[in-house]
Amino acid sequence: MSTGPTTITLRRPDDMHLHVRDGEMMRAVLPFTAARFARALIMPNLKPPVTSTRQALEYRRRILQALPAGVRFEPLMTLYLTDRTEPAEADRARAGGGILGFKLYPAGATTHSDAGVTDIRRVDAVLSRMEETGLVLQVHGEVADPDVDIFEREARFIDTVLSPLAARFPRLRIVFEHISTRAAVQFVLCAREGIAATVTPQHLLMNRNALFAGGLRPHHYCLPVLKSEADRESLLAAVAGGNRRFFLGTDSAPHGRAAKEAACGCAGIFSAHAALELYAEAFEAVGGLERLEPFACEHGADFYGLARNSGQIRLIKKPWEVPASLPCGADRLVPLRSGERVAWQVADEPPGATPAGAAGR
């Protein structure tokens, strides 16, 4: 029997899709990401949303202030696109420094998306400015139509919105975020230049059975919702195949326990506490561990035209048990794999990376 490696050393990675929220929640979750990633692209779906360059730069400052002492981490920002976003905002964003683009949330598609875009044609003028200035459009790729089957919303989005959009703006750089289907993999593989996708740990490690394993499992509910095993296999093959169009974006999306364990629970899976470790599991499962570094540390930076990070992070194959819950202000947060094991761990986690009280229920 051959055994795989027990340690892997990577260049410090980038999380190209992350929700850190604000205030107490941000202080609770940010250390986990900063202990693993050198940079992350911070999602703008706060309440109210981060729609202007000024707001994004203020939010960026709050994130930097919330970092544990001595921890180096760079927040990369994106603005929330609305029907009313002016083309001049793209120019301001470009000049602002550290703002990589705009996030498109189809109105009503997901958590805090009500201020999103109601019809893509309404933002044509902004998209055109973005295309000219080189800003990137990050796309939540699901139609919001409640009459469309929830498992079909990504595929429908490709056909009715994304594919025509990519053709109408042939030089616009687009990241299809948190792809969840074989249809999305196929689209990205065959798409024109300038189109890439992020893939989350949950979509690589779980299929939709995980939503109902032994009962209804709210902590496995996110959007796009988990899909079939065939979809999961297709995502795994895509990332382990090493194609440069696929890169790491956790979509770690914390919600307090009460908001998840409710009659109408929020969408979002918190994975920042073990993000890189979970990806290592996924890559290892298909014999593709050597592809983890390019996926996590190179493809995203290269797509965005950023220098690759310096410094390293080491993962050891040593199982550990994820706490049942984590402190989050007065509330608690239930992390992915709560009370279960993760096969890999980060060596030498810096002090302050794990907030006190992590083990409690």
Chain positions contacting ligand NCD, by CB under 6 A: 19, 45, 110-112, 140, 222-223, 251, 253, 267-268
* Angle, alpha carbons 243-103-257 (nearest 5°): 95
User: Judged by CB, which is closer to ligand NCD: 51, or 110?
Assistant: 110
Any contact of residue 15 with Zn ion (CB under 5 A)?
Answer: no
The answer, yes or no, to whether the previous bond of 224 is cis (omega within 30 of 0) is yes
Tell me how far, at minimum, the Cβ of 361 lies from Zn ion, in Å: 27
- How many residues of this chain interact with Zn ion, rule: CB under 5 A? 1
Please list, in sequence order, all residues whose beta carbon lies within 8 angstroms of the beta carbon of residue 4, skipping any fewer than 6 positions away: 284, 289, 317
Q: How would you label 278-292 residue by residue, b for 16+ Cβ within 10 Å and e otherwise? A: bbbbbbbeeebbebb
Residue whose CB is nearest to Zn ion in the complex, by number: 251
Q: Please check whether residue 301 is in contact with residue 244, taking contact to mean a CB–CB distance below 8 angstroms.
A: no
Q: Which does 111 bind (CB under 5 to 8 A by kind): Zn ion, ligand NCD, none?
A: ligand NCD
CA dist 202 and 206 (Å) reads 6
Rounded CA gap, 308 and 13, in Å? Answer: 9
Minimum distance between the CB of residue 114 and ligand NCD, rounded to whole angstroms? 12
Closest residue to ligand NCD in the complex (CB): 268
Nearer to ligand NCD (CB atom), residue 259 or residue 353:
259
CA dist., res. 202 & res. 210, Å (int): 10
Shortest approach of Zn ion to residue 153 CB, angstroms?
Answer: 15
Provide, rounded to whole angstroms, the least separation between the CB of residue 204 and ligand NCD.
Answer: 15
Where helices occur in 109-149 by DSSP H, the ranges are: 124-133
Please identify, using beta-carbon distances, which residue of 128 and 207 lies nearer to ligand NCD: 207
Residue 294 or 300: the one with the smaller Cβ distance to ligand NCD is 300
The CB-of-178 to Zn ion minimum distance in angstroms stands at 6
Choose from Zn ion, ligand NCD, none: what does 53 bind? Cβ within 5-8 Å by kind.
none
**Quick check: is 149 catalytic?**
no
Nearer to Zn ion, 251 or 277 (CB): 251
Residue 223 interacts, among Zn ion, ligand NCD, none and using kind-specific CB cut-offs from 5 to 8 Å, with: ligand NCD
User: Pattern 206-245, binding to Zn ion, x per CB under 5 A?
Assistant: ----------------------------------------
Considering the complex, state which of residue 53 and residue 271 has its C-beta at the smaller distance from ligand NCD. 271
Which residue, 352, 356, 320, 350, is CA-closest to 338? 320
* 3-class DSSP assignment, residue 299: helix
Q: Which residues contact 336 (CB under 8 A, 6 or more apart)?
A: 201, 202, 219, 269, 270, 271, 273, 274, 278, 322
- Determine if residue 215 is left, alpha or beta; phi over 0 gives left, psi from -120 to 50 gives alpha, anything else beta: left
> From CA 268, how far away is CA 338, in angstroms rounded?
15
Least distance CB 269 / Zn ion (angstroms): 10
Which position has the token pair 């014999």? 287
- Cα gap 206→174, rounded to integer Å: 26
Helices (H) and strands (E) in the chain, counts: 13, 13
Mask of contacts with Zn ion, 244-283, x by CB under 5 A? -------x--------------------------------
CA atoms of 176 and 106, how far apart (whole Å) = 13
Catalytic residue among 14, 15, 231, 251: 251
Measured from the CB atom, the residue of 251 and 277 that comes closer to ligand NCD is 251
Least Cβ distance, residue 314 to ligand NCD (angstroms): 29
The catalytic residue positions are 251
Q: Which residues bind Zn ion (CB under 5 A)?
A: 251
